[in-house]
Amino acid sequence: MARDFSHIHNVSAQFLLNGVRTPSRVFVQAVALSLLVWACAAHAASKPKNEDCLVCHSDSTLTKDHNGKPVSLFVDSDKFKHSIHGSMFTCVDCHTDVKGPVHETTPKKITCAGCHADAQDAYSHSYHARPAKGSTLPAANCEDCHGGVHEILAADDPKSPVNHKNIPATCGRCHGQKFLMESNGVSAQPFVSYQESVHGQAVEKGSTKAAVCTDCHGAHEILAANDQKSPIYKFNVPQTCGKCHSAISQTFMQSIHGQGISRGNDLAPVCTDCHGIHSIKAHKDPNSTVARQNLVQDACARCHAGVRLSQEFGIAQNSVSTYQDSYHGLAAEGGSVVVANCSSCHGVHNILPSSDPHSTVNPANLETTCGECHHGVTRKFIVTKVHMNPTRANDIGSITVRWVRWFYLVLIFAVIGGMFLHNAIIWRSKAAARRRMQNPRMVRMTPNQRWQHLVLLSSFIVLVITGFALKFPYSWIAVVLGMGEHLRSIVHRVAGVILISAGIYHVFYLIATREGRKLIWDLAPRPKDAFDVWATMRYYLGLGGEKPKFGRFTYGEKAEYWALVWGTALMGLTGIMLWANVWVGNLLARWWIDLATTVHYYEAILATLAIVVWHFYQVLFDPDVYPMNWAWWDGSMAVDHYRHEHGLDTEALAEAEGKSATGANESSSENSAAKPNDEAPQK
């Protein structure tokens, strides 16, 4: 309508200005102008008004068929009237192809670009304009964010979806839906993290200044983080955060980190590297990465504990470890809330190299910096380095500490080593004397069985040490072992092959030899074993009853043997699967490798603890066998002890007692034969 009257004004003005203004010509022009105005008014009157359109479209049941599905044509007149469009335009201002209240053809689809060209152009370059995976529709369009086309409200309207306080909820309609996001290869976690962040919590409490999604990502031209034009591109992050935190941003850009960003160094940290991205929390929040108790490990150590900074820029890589070994680090680890951390000395956003005169750790400023905690410090107090590494530094203090360290290492080795050697000599002598007193003796393990046990023992210990060193490469086990990852893996696999080979040999031993067949028969579980468990517990708890008698093997020895068989088979199978992971993954599925890894790890823990808690008690800590059951070494056992523990094995006891009696008779005969010879000279 406005465009038509503007056109009338231009035409009439040209008409009136052309030619000479005589009375007759003026009269003719006036008549013509009146006719023209009347014609345009008549034309305008023929255009449908909003009321004309709403006669039909206010009916909530009005629909049209689209690809076999009904589509609603209902327009809520009240909402449209109060919308930003309803207060400025009529229906036909947008639906320009509608010429009358009655239209046979479907109006063309309306685009926002006609009025909002800049926003449309920005949107066309954004992530939202790209079709979602497996869809021909864009990821999000104007209506998804601004609301229905007939109900769009101004951004400053509290009810508008794009009002500042409503932005998180609007974005969350898509980005908070886990299955929707994951189906498009995107995680919904960022939205969840934002809700729990200091920004999200502030918005939830009614803040109109806290950052929402559009403050960081933009409104219409939302770009990927790796796009150089994106406000969340790494080198743009300080500027983006500076929109709210301008003073901090300016300070940061002057710091060593900010200077690195200005030079294009992608290893230099920006705001999000220390504070987080969507999960930013207040520095007093105990879960914040920059909280006092988390700052060293969660913020600074992520860069300064690695070797890349030292290799690329010559920055000392032991800054974190030397801090952790210092009084400050140990006190912080112990829970101190007042001890100095990295930011206490180096600053927070204003970190500068020690060579900079403005740096808090510049030698000229150290008295002030240290004096904040240590009141009254002098130059002598600050001479010594804080991140002291006495193995490398050449100052007098470091050299002195280094010599004292070596003196004590030698002293400790000599004193403690001498003590250990002294006690070992006495222990060996006493153990041998105690063993000589335990006669007569009988065979408990044959040489073949002892060799099998020795191979099993050796390979198992090597597997435990190398296995846990591989799993925990920074543990004390790995440090003591002192092997590289590659060598440890080779040793671990060799020990595994030896263990599996010993297991295969044992199976053939059980089948092919009389000794083996008897062994497996004696180790077979029997119902009596279950009753023996109950009777043993009653006896040692003092609840009555007699101590049960056992045959060649107790229930505990049988349980340990079959657990060993099961564990060896399971560890061998999963170990081979992990060794041939590509072949197994292609044959079965990748998750089988994960399953094998889990079983191998936890079965190793189970086996190790079982040996320490169960087997070591039987052969080391049981008072009846102290200081050790030596059967694994020489295969023998005292007959009295065997009778006490395995009284039902009458066959073995009879054989042992028969041999003992034979030996005693032979010894007596030798002594009798010797006596006449000894006494002959006296006669």
> Residue 583: what pLDDT?
92
> Residue 259: what pLDDT?
94
Among 389, 419, 448, residue at a domain's last position: 389
Q: Is residue 150 part of a domain?
A: no
Q: Is residue 359 part of a domain?
A: yes
Identify the band that residue 678 occupies on the pLDDT scale cut at 50, 70 and 90.
very low
Q: Is residue 267 part of a domain?
A: no
Is beta strand 636-638 parallel, antiparallel or unpaired with respect to 441-443?
A: antiparallel
Q: pLDDT for 629-652, tens place per residue?
A: 888 888 888 888 888 888 888 888
Q: Is residue 573 part of a domain?
A: yes
Whether residue 361 is found in the same domain as residue 466: no
pLDDT at 11 over 80: no
pLDDT at 682 over 70: no
Whether residue 408 is found in the same domain as residue 338: no
pLDDT at 40 over 60: no
Identify the band that residue 7 occupies on the pLDDT scale cut at 50, 70 and 90.
very low
Q: What are phi and psi of 480, to 5 degrees?
A: -65, -40
- Maximum Cα–Cα distance across the chain: 189
Identify the band that residue 16 occupies on the pLDDT scale cut at 50, 70 and 90.
very low
Whether residue 414 is found in the same domain as residue 531: no
pLDDT at 202 over 80: yes
Whether residue 560 is found in the same domain as residue 655: yes
pLDDT at 198 over 70: yes
pLDDT at 591 over 80: yes
Range of the domain at 7: 2-46
Q: Identify the CATH number of the domain in which residue 491 sits.
A: 1.20.950.20
The more confident residue out of 466 and 65 is 466
> Residue 546: what pLDDT?
87
H-run or E-run covering 371: helix 366-371
Whether residue 478 is found in the same domain as residue 504: yes
Whether residue 373 is found in the same domain as residue 514: no
Task: Write the DSSP string, 556-625.
Answer: HHHHHHHHHHHHHHHHHHHHHHHHTHHHHHHHS-HHHHHHHHHHHHHHHHHHHHHIIIIIHIIIII-TTT
Whether residue 327 is found in the same domain as residue 346: yes
Query: Is the Cβ–Cβ distance between 405 and 390 less than 8 Å?
Result: yes
Q: Hey, what amino acid is at 626? A: Y
Q: Of 40-44, 100-104, 599-603, which range is least confident?
A: 40-44
Q: pLDDT for 242-271, tens place per residue?
A: 999 999 999 999 999 999 999 999 899 999
Number of domains in the chain: 5
Q: Is residue 528 part of a domain?
A: yes
Whether residue 365 is found in the same domain as residue 457: no
Among 37, 70, 97, residue at a domain's last position: 97
Mean pLDDT of 605-627: 89
The more confident residue out of 10 and 431 is 431
CA distance 149 to 373: 63
Q: pLDDT for 520-551, tens place per residue?
A: 999 999 999 999 999 999 998 988 888 899 99
The more confident residue out of 568 and 429 is 568
Which of 620, 660, 625, 558 lies closest to 652 in space, CA to CA? 660
- pTM to 2 decimal places: 0.62
Q: Is residue 285 part of a domain?
A: no
Q: Chain-wide mean pLDDT for the chain?
A: 84
The more confident residue out of 502 and 78 is 502
Q: Is residue 649 part of a domain?
A: yes
Segments in 18-76 forming alpha helices (H): 23-46, 50-57
Q: What is the CA radius of gyration of the chain?
A: 45
Query: Is the Cβ–Cβ distance between 89 and 74 less than 8 Å?
Result: no
Q: pLDDT for 318-343, tens place per residue?
A: 788 888 888 888 888 888 888 999 99
CA distance 300 to 314: 17
Q: Of 96-105, 359-368, 561-570, which range is least confident?
A: 96-105
Q: Is residue 218 part of a domain?
A: no
Whether residue 351 is found in the same domain as residue 480: no
CA distance 413 to 135: 72
Residue 269: cis peptide before it, omega within 30 degrees of 0: no
Question: Going by C-beta distance under 8 Å and a sequence separation of 6 or more, which residues neighbour residue 9?
Answer: none
The more confident residue out of 135 and 488 is 488
Q: pLDDT for 117-169, tens place per residue?
A: 999 999 998 989 887 666 666 788 888 899 888 888 899 999 999 999 999 99
Q: 113: which DSSP letter?
A: G
Whether residue 505 is found in the same domain as residue 551: yes
Whether residue 407 is found in the same domain as residue 355: no
Whether residue 601 is found in the same domain as residue 455: yes
> Residue 677: what pLDDT?
46
Q: Tokens in use for 388?
A: 């002291």
Q: Tokens in use for 530?
A: 């279950």
Query: Is the Cβ–Cβ distance between 238 and 261 less than 8 Å?
Result: yes
Q: What are phi and psi of 472, to 5 degrees?
A: -125, 80
